[in-house]
Amino acid sequence: MSTHNASSPVLLHPIAKGRAWGGTTFAQWKKFAAPAPGELAIGESWEVADLPESIANGCSLVAAGAGTGKTLHELIDLDTPSWMGRARLTAQGRFPLLVKFLDAAEHLSVQVHPDEAYAAANTSAHLKTESWFVLAAKPGATIWRGVKEHVTKQEFETRLRAGASILDLLVEVRVQAGDCIDLPSGLCHALGEGITVAEIQTPSDTTFRVFDWNRNDPSRLLHLNQAMQCIQFGKTQRLEHLPIRNAATAPAVQTRSMRTTLLSRTDHYKIERIEAMTATTLEVITHQRPVCWLVLGGGVCVDGQTPVTANAWQTLLFPAISEGCVAKLAVGTTFLRITLPDPMDRFIA
């Protein structure tokens, strides 16, 4: 019998990732110390991670709550039924989400992630569908999402092989704080400079770069052959079915004390923004699946045998069995609630 309290949430340590395009936001948030001279700026903060041992520093540690000091993988392995409930681990036995913050002081590479067909044929690659929630964006900031519908695969590949720019072949979109952008696997995309986002994705670190802004960095190779097997073109991208929703204008359910806005619903996760209009309490609802709260502002205190507190830019993970825990929210508290699908949903008409 395990000795940890699976009914309580845990607070997770963030994992700092240096990136060529990273900025200073995380130091301003006091999540990490500023990098030493000569070190890469921190571009990513991995909030919830359970990747294989082959990925360096790829598994979250518990910072507070039952199981402090254990990895997320160890904690779930101790009592998988209590943690996962009706949800499923990946085929590799890992937690089925990777949650991050990204701080782009410069453009990220133009890239694509494997779809199911490519991942099935290449065991070293893993499907990656992701969504960005824009936390901050400089005026006029843009992303690139998808290839213009009239562009053929041959035209796109010819440009790539010739080393010519492909930016005019991509769909450029201006974004602002509060936007939520879905990026299914197979969709070519890039995050532009001056944007900070929360990224919710399937647990994969497989990225195929097609253009890297001429950085000519030998540690950041291009993957043209792999990318061309994954990139979708024309109507197969279904861009018309991927509207960008903004938290300020999307339909919401509001009571006197709480506002809940649905931002994204994919086959892999659902993202909602929760805002406390007053100091209030909120009963934790899991529907027998683990739930992630990505706190963006204010503070959350969860009662229970092992009380846990989270403030802005911290992350709570609730096991499936924590249904009925009560969270105290300070006025103005906002967080992203990320939930997993029920495997039975596919059988319900």
Alpha helices in the chain (DSSP H): 25-28, 72-78, 80-84, 116-121, 153-162, 224-228
Q: Which residue of the set 94, 145, 159, 209 is catalytic? A: 209
Amino acid at 214: N
Q: What are phi and psi of 27, to 5 degrees?
A: -65, -40
CA 49 – CA 199 distance, rounded (Å) = 12
Asked whether the beta carbons of 78 and 4 are under 8 A apart, the reply is yes
Q: Could you tell me the CA-to-CA distances from 125 to 47, 117, 173, 206 in Å, in that order?
A: 22, 10, 28, 6
Q: Cα(216)–Cα(165) distance, rounded to whole angstroms?
A: 15
CA atoms lying within 13 Å on the CB side of residue 144: 20
The string of DSSP codes covering 262-313 is: EEEE-SS-EEEEEEESSSEEEE---TTS-EEEEEEESEEEE-SSS-EEEETT
Is 209 catalytic? The answer is yes
Q: Three-class SS of residue 105?
A: coil
Burial 8-44 (b: 16+ CB within 10 A, else e): bbbbbbbbbbebbbbbebbeebebeeebeeeeebbbb
Q: Encode 201-248 in three state secondary structure.
A: ECCCCCCEEEECCCCCCCCCCCCHHHHHCCCCCHHHHCHHHCCCEECC
Residues designated as active site: 209
